[in-house]
Every structure is written in C-alpha cells, then in structure tokens.
Amino acid sequence: MKKKLLGAVLSVAMVATLLAGCGGSADTGAAPAAPAAPAAPAAEAPAEEAAPAEEKADDAAPAAEAPAGGMKVGVAMPTKDLQRWNQDGSNMEKELKDAGYEVDLQYASNDVQTQVSQIENMINNGCGVLVIAAIEGDSLGTVLASAKEKNIPVIAYDRLIMNTDAVSYYATFDNYMVGTKQGEYIKDQIKLDSEAGPFNLEVTTGDPGDNNARYFYQGAIDVLQPYIDEGKLVVKSGQLDFDKVATASWSSENAQSRAENIVSSDYSDGSNIDAWLCSNDSTAQGVVAALDANYNGEWPIITGQDCDVVSVQNMIAGKQSMSIFKDTRTLASQVVKMVGQILKGETVDVNDTETYDNGTGVIPSYLCEPVFADINNYKELLIDSGYYTEADLQ
C-alpha cells in the first residue's frame, strides 16, 4: 500500500498481525505535519528520501532519561461521553495500579482548557510520566513545554499531539489502516469490482481537531476514489472534501443533523443510498437515527469504529454493517509496558520510527493493528474474547 504525507513521501510495508495484536509493524499512513488533509497516494518514494536503513519499523527507540519524579503516572483522557474513552481510561488505570504505580486519571469533558489545567496539575503534583489522549492535537504545546522543562516524558495516546517537541512516544492503532478497512468493506459489500453501478455514497468523518480523523478519512478515500473518478460511486450531496464531511466533537447529534439534511435534499426522490462511510460509531449512530426518521429507500452499508455497545446492537439489528474493533485492553497493556520502561530507564519498545511526524520531527511509535467486526464474526471477536458478554449486547 502506498500513501503520502505532507512535506515528505514515505513507503512502509504492511505485515498482518494477529487479532488486535501489537506485535508486528503495519503499513501505516503518513501523518500530516499539521492538521491538513493528506494528499493522494504517491507512486514511489525517491531513493534519496527513503528512511535510513537503520530506522526500520521494528527498531526500538532510545530510552528517555529516567525522570526524577518517582512512580506517579498522569493519564489525561478527553471525555466520558464516548464509551471507548471510559474503557481506555479504566483499563489503563487498572493495569498501572496492578503494576504498582499511583495513577492520576482525569477526564476533561471535551474542553481543551480543562484538559490543559488537568495536565498542569499532573506536572505540578509529581507525575513522572504523562499519558495524554488530546482533545485537540495542537492545543497542548505550552503546557507540555513545562513538562519538558521538568524532564517528564509524554506518551501521546491514540491521538498524536502536534507541533511540540515535548512528545516522547506515540501509542495507537494504525489509523490509516482503519480507514482502509472501512473503504475495502464498502468496496467488497457492494461489489464495486464486478457490478456496473452506479452506486450512491455519502461520507461522515470525525472532528477536524482530531489528527486521527484525517487518517481514517484518507485511508478510506484512497480505496474508494478510483470508483468515484470513474463514476461507479456517486456522491449525490456533492460533499466529499474532508472539511465538508467532518463532524465537530464526533457528535452523534451533529452527524444526525447533517445526514437528515442530505436525505431530505438529495434522496427525497426515492433514490437509494448504497453506502454511508462513517469513521466511527458515534457518527454512525447519528446517521442511523437520521435514516430511521427520514429515509425510505433500501438500507445502505454503514461503517463505524470502536464496537460501542449501541453500534454492535445496531449491527445485530441490521442497521450498522461493521465496526472497526480496536481492543483497548491491548493498547493499554502496551502503554503500561512503555511507562515501566521509561521509569526504569530501559529501552522503550516501538515498532515504527518513520511515519508519525508531529511537526517537530518523527515521534517513535507503537502501532497496533485493527480488525473489523460484522454480523459474521462479532461473537468470536467481542464475546468469546471476553470484551463483552451476551447480556451486554441485549
């Protein structure tokens, strides 16, 4: 797979890993240096721009200098409004406490200034490492400068923190691959390679302040764009650019309102919507609500991400087709391992040292590979693995 990043073109190799495993490197999307949409895929990376041979995806980054703070870890999460952040926070808190660390876990109600204040308190109250899932990737430079002054390493959790040299490591799932899998699911389900079409497609992606939203979007569009170009996929609303399809705060209500306008404006003539690309479950839930209220055509393929309970219930009911499963237990375990390595002055495990440039340089990263759940495999992935019980999904 090839894709490009702003300011440089990199080519990395995809290696399939086990379910939600974090062991091998994956073909990753090149991060934009600032929150701007990535461009179309490149044909080939010039030899002179290739990463040095010693910077292989499986290499480990040098350990940060052991901080003088002790055994307290600050964990900053964006909000409790989305199920996945509650799971991320509680999983990490439990594992850190089990490993013997004191934990300061804070949720910021999706308010940037609240998160800044929480991080300031963590810095001033003796945290030796900070794990931060940023609300906005560009909003933490000033407060993290204070962390750097006090030699407190920072792990960016799931969302890359942009334009600050205070970020030591990045731990996430392969975000470009998330979008790729969503796009491929649509391609396969409506048989774009064998059916004549045309098929109608609409797109709803995430918050423009979330750096990951652009990866999800671009991974999917890179799969679907050739079919759009040849006219086999038609976006009747005309809304395809990232800025047109973004959803502030990943809000279900915002996604529903926009979807209702699209349905009433472009599909009141009885036209079918064949697929609706949604970047995550909260936006998918908004689209489902809009279609339930206003749409009379054949039900479309609807994608999602996070395997939230409501979306899995919608999947079972035939209203959402799939959701990317990112087992946050695995990611939390990897971050706890990285925290321990930092505090002990050990070499920190990473498996990508080429891809994620936050505007000040490439951040050593650990990437886990996502998989998707649908009606055919959700029991194996979600119930048999202990992620949910049958009762959770009733």
CATH number for the domain spanning 307: value is 3.40.50.2300
Residue 315 lies in a domain: yes
Q: Report, as an integer, the average pLDDT of 295-303.
A: 97
Q: Could you tell me if residue 187 is inside a domain? A: yes
- Amino acid of residue 237: S
Q: Is residue 184 part of a domain?
A: yes
Is residue 371 one of the residues assigned to a domain?
no
Residue 143: is its pLDDT beyond 70?
yes
Both tokens assigned to 301: 């393929």
For the chain, the domain total comes to 1
Q: How confident is the model at residue 149 (pLDDT cuts 50, 70, 90)?
A: very high
CA 226 from centre of chain: 24
Work out the average pLDDT over 247-260. Answer: 97
Residue 137 has a pLDDT of 85
**Backbone angles phi and psi of 184, in degrees to 5:** -65, -35
pLDDT attached to residue 383: 96
Query: Against a cut of 0.75, is the pTM above it?
Result: no
277: containing domain: 175-326
The reply to whether 232 falls in a domain is yes
Q: What is the pLDDT of residues 329-338, one digit of tens each?
A: 889 899 999 9
Report yes or no on 28 lying in a domain: no
- Is residue 223 in some structural domain? yes
Domain annotation covers residue 37: no
| CA neighbor of 326 nearest in space, from 280, 379, 392, 376 | 280
Alpha helix locations (H) across the chain?
83-98, 112-124, 141-149, 175-189, 211-229, 242-245, 252-266, 281-294, 309-316, 328-343, 378
Residue 10: CB atoms within 10 A of its CB come to 21
Percent pLDDT > 90 in the chain is: 77
